[in-house]
Structure 1
Amino acid sequence: MPASAPAARTGRRAVRRAVVAALAAGAVLTGTAAAPVAAGGPPPAGHGPHDEGLRRALAGLVEAPGGPPGAIAVLTRDGHRQVYRAGTAEVGTGRPPRAGGHMRVASAAKAFSGAVALSLVDRRALALDDTIGDRLPHLPAAWHAVTLRQLLQHTSGLPDFSRSKAFQDIVRADPRHHFDSRRLLDFVADQGLAFPPGSRYAYSNSDNIAVALMAEQATGRPYEALLNDLVYRPLGLRETSLPQGYRLPRPLLHGYDTAPGEPPVDVSEAISASGAWASGGIVSTPADLSAFIGGYTGPRLLTPATRHAQRDFLPGGASEPAGPGANAAGLALFRYTTRCGTVLGHTGNTPGYTQFAAATPDGRRTVTVSVTSQVTLDPALLARLRAVEEKFVCALLERGRP
């Protein structure tokens, strides 16, 4: 049934409000197939000491003022999957969130670009000490000393294109604008580095755009094809893609703009993925995201030497948003040290979605928490989400003990 004109105007205002708020936060962005994560079948629900507490924690997040309409968490242990859910996948339907629902993974897409680049390091098509000057000499000379390692660890000093006024003006005027993803760095090409490369940590969406461009230069192949061959296919990710437009595949885990006392407004397809690309444009499902983070963290994609380099963590380097516990930055991977132990992974947020994906260092146990609003715009709600994430990490690590 078509929306009334006033309702449609209200919806457009909410979409624009969500995009403008995200811009202000810098977060508009965000081989042989492996056996499916659920191949062993899920353990019986409701028999663990944490099950009810975890369900209550998710429900409390959904029921909080301005909370997300839906939340879904997936725990995997040695191929066994347990799904926890609260709220709905689509307001007004009562349909619960499911592990096969498509969603934006936001900045968790940076881990995918890390998987591509580090796989190419293993194949000697790239080296961690390759510089922008070596690989992308057409970019500003002031950036030429920046290395692939520094890009992956956010110590490059590259100015963030998503914070440029020109970029933000375009998105404000038309959130679905189709960008040339390979020219996103043009928005900051007139700027020097924010600091000498390697001297400090600063999260920048430009870093992973440069990583993808390096991968393309080294192979002569589109980044999307590299994702397919080096990541999706080896890990059996059949529901993961990097679109250029604003549409999402069905079935959908709808994302919303929320505010206390106001009805949620669907912003699932409010923005074009072309303006995020390798820094935040990937679309996946909770099931595929779980399979990815286990494969990326574990031994299936990378050699021991490359994984060792990946885990050169910089204390205090926090993902965006910060994950549970104390954060430290590796190469397109973060270490989260919680009260119950340590996991490795990535987070992300964009209008309609906030993501957390992590795994034990061996990749055999994984946890993802996906919620259907950008909770980072409310500090109290984000603090509550981080506490929920830590509860799931604790459950994951306790259940993994003998």
Structure 2
Amino acid sequence: MRQGGCTARVSPAPPSHRTPGDTHAPTPARGRRLRTGLSATALAAVALGGLLQPAQAAGEPGPADGGPRHDKSLQQQLDRLVAQDDGPPGVIALLTRDGRTQVYTAGVGDIATGRPPRPDDHMRIASIAKAFSGAVALQLVDQGRLSLDDTIGELLPDQPAAWPAVTLRQLLQHTSGLPDYSAAPRFLELVGADPRHVFDPRTLLDFVAEEPLLFRPGALYEYSNSDNIAVALIAEAVTGRRYEDLLEDLVHGPLGLRRTSLPLGYRLPKPYLHGYDVAPPAEPEDVSEEFGVSGIWASGGIISTPKELGAFIRAYGGPAMLSEKTRKEQLTFRPGDSSEPAGPGTNAAGLAIFQYTTRCGVLYGHTGNFPGYTQLAATTPDGTRSLTFSINAQTSKSNKPALLARLRTVQEDFACALLKGR
């Protein structure tokens, strides 16, 4: 039996990172002064800094060069997580500290073969794709092509008449009031009939074109997949270029992310971390390629690997990618507003990034969930340390809240390990 485009047991609404869309021809780039480009040296240091170091067996001494030991208690937490009746079949966490990466795994990345998750496995990063759209937009702000105060009315004049006052800043911080197209009845109907339905990602906002704003822009916080679709369309409008090409030129290329992509189909490049629908007492069902991602596009369609996700978040959450002025805007947080699902500790919302205040300190990052996957990527503010934490099952506040609570506890313990000694 299937519900809402996914197997029964998966939430009827498509993943909480849903969306893309608009067919309007791009408008000419605006004539603002261009800033000099990114520091290639700084970005390369962030991207290449994670020399992978396998996690050692519990109880063994640390590496001869004085690197961190494998933490037995962290490994036990992962083992217990996958041993839960409704837990994920597998988990992989990468702890990168000052250029060295420890890999922790438990369970399996593929039930059929029994192999463990691996740092170079492709996987759906879900709503962490929103941080990538933030990286594109904020670099265009740095280049003078965009302003955070630019509005939908100025840049996307063919969008609904109720939306013109919404600013880029509000879209990036989920305070726009745009209704979420991925919750629209017609969108759900199409996905329910065919989970691999091919959407034109540039027309996704048409599903809510007749709906009013949910609230006055800037007044409230409401996590919406429509926001990042609009961000991508704005980036296309001011550059006259496809969003996919902007991603390559501004993010993937400079960071050396060769295994990171934004497809429109349902296939995953091999090898990949298999994602499962877990609903005991039934056996886990492989849903890795159950859904097409044309319907989530800039809001959740990116495929990456644990290793490359760490390189991205160190650059985007650290100081290497953006000017000091733009980064100050990026890191202006709204206390209490969380990513979806919530990350470890207390959450606060910035511009396409979240602050996670744990008992051991602060991290910047993003989370995401999609059928078969739940993701966290976070970095220290200086961009020298990062944590990526991936499980191959979906959990959110509306889908397995107890598992999410346990997951956040384990993630906070990994965050404390990351922050230790700072």
Establish whether TM, by shorter chain, passes 0.5.
yes
Aligned residues with identical type, % of pairs? 60
Secondary structure of 2:278's counterpart equals: strand
* Residue 335 of structure 1, aligned match among 335, 346, 355: 355
Question: What's 1:312 paired with?
Answer: 332
Q: How does 1:46-61 map to 2 (within 5 A)?
A: 46=58, 47=62, 48=68, 51-61=71-81
Q: How does 1:222-301 map to 2 (within 5 A)?
A: 222-301=242-321
Query: In the alignment, residue 389 of structure 1 is paired with which amino acid?
Result: Q
Shift of 1:79: 1.2
Whole-angstrom distance in 1 between the partners of 2:310 and 2:267: 22
Question: What's 1:22 paired with?
Answer: 11
Whole-angstrom distance in 1 between the partners of 2:11 and 2:325: 38
Query: In the alignment, residue 102 of structure 1 is paired with which amino acid?
Result: H
Residue segments in structure 2 that go unaligned for 5+ positions in a row: 20-37, 63-67
Shift of 1:25: 7.2
Contact 2:2 2:8 in 1 (8 A): no
Shift of 1:29: 2.8
Whole-angstrom distance in 2 between the partners of 1:182 and 1:326: 34
Comparing 91-100 with 211-220, greater Cα deviation is found at: 91-100
Question: What's 1:8 paired with?
Answer: none
Distance verdict in 2 for CA 1:158–1:14, change over 3 Å: closer
Question: What's 1:352 paired with?
Answer: 372
Question: What's 1:323 paired with?
Answer: 343
Whole-angstrom distance in 1 between the partners of 2:387 and 2:184: 34
1:92 aligns with 2:75: no
Question: What's 1:172 paired with?
Answer: 192
Contact 1:113 1:212 in 2 (8 A): yes
Normalized against structure 1, the TM-score is what?
0.93
Distance verdict in 2 for CA 1:19–1:147, change over 3 Å: farther
1:387 aligns with 2:409: yes
Contact 1:79 1:364 in 2 (8 A): yes
Question: What's 1:3 paired with?
Answer: none
Q: How does 1:84-233 map to 2 (within 5 A)?
A: 84-233=104-253
Question: What's 1:76 paired with?
Answer: 96
Secondary structure of 1:321's counterpart equals: coil
Question: What's 2:83 paired with?
Answer: 63
Contact 2:196 2:266 in 1 (8 A): yes
Which deviations, in whole Å up to 9, do the C-alpha atoms of 1:175-212 show, x marking residues without a partner? 00000000000000001100000001000000000000
Query: In the alignment, residue 200 of structure 1 is paired with which amino acid?
Result: L
* Residue 42 of structure 1, aligned match among 36, 53, 57: 53
Question: What's 2:35 paired with?
Answer: none
Query: In the alignment, residue 44 of structure 2 is paired with which amino acid?
Result: A
Whole-angstrom distance in 2 between the partners of 1:79 and 1:373: 29
Secondary structure of 1:358's counterpart equals: strand
Contact 1:19 1:351 in 2 (8 A): no
Query: In the alignment, residue 214 of structure 1 is paired with which amino acid?
Result: I
Residue segments in structure 1 that go unaligned for 5+ positions in a row: 1-11
Shift of 1:16: 5.2
Question: Runs ≥4 in structure 1, deviation > 6 angstroms?
Answer: none
Secondary structure of 1:346's counterpart equals: strand
Contact 1:68 1:375 in 2 (8 A): no
Shift of 1:296: 0.4
Shift of 1:13: 4.7
Contact 1:15 1:265 in 2 (8 A): no
Which deviations, in whole Å up to 9, do the C-alpha atoms of 1:37-63 show, x marking residues without a partner? 455453873535761111111111111
Whole-angstrom distance in 1 between the partners of 2:360 and 2:229: 35
Which deviations, in whole Å up to 9, do the C-alpha atoms of 1:109-143 show, x marking residues without a partner? 00000000000000001100000000000001110
Distance verdict in 2 for CA 1:16–1:200, change over 3 Å: closer
Comparing 24-33 with 204-213, greater Cα deviation is found at: 24-33
Whole-angstrom distance in 2 between the partners of 1:106 and 1:23: 17
Which deviations, in whole Å up to 9, do the C-alpha atoms of 1:266-319 show, x marking residues without a partner? 100111110000000000000010000001011221111111000110011100
Whole-angstrom distance in 1 between the partners of 2:296 and 2:156: 20
* Residue 418 of structure 2, aligned match among 379, 384, 396: 396
Query: In the alignment, residue 53 of structure 2 is paired with which amino acid?
Result: P
Which deviations, in whole Å up to 9, do the C-alpha atoms of 1:244-284 show, x marking residues without a partner? 00001010100000012111111001111100000000000
Secondary structure of 1:275's counterpart equals: coil
Whole-angstrom distance in 1 between the partners of 2:381 and 2:322: 13
Contact 1:72 1:85 in 2 (8 A): yes
Normalized against structure 2, the TM-score is what?
0.89
Whole-angstrom distance in 1 between the partners of 2:9 and 2:236: 32
Secondary structure of 2:362's counterpart equals: strand
Question: What's 1:375 paired with?
Answer: 395
Contact 1:20 1:172 in 2 (8 A): no
Whole-angstrom distance in 1 between the partners of 2:200 and 2:218: 29
Whole-angstrom distance in 1 between the partners of 2:193 and 2:343: 32
Secondary structure of 2:284's counterpart equals: strand
Query: In the alignment, residue 34 of structure 1 is paired with which amino acid?
Result: A
Contact 2:5 2:191 in 1 (8 A): no
Distance verdict in 2 for CA 1:251–1:49, change over 3 Å: closer
Shift of 1:67: 1.0
Question: What's 1:302 paired with?
Answer: 322
- State the aligned residue count: 389
Comparing 17-26 with 60-69, greater Cα deviation is found at: 17-26
Contact 2:317 2:365 in 1 (8 A): yes
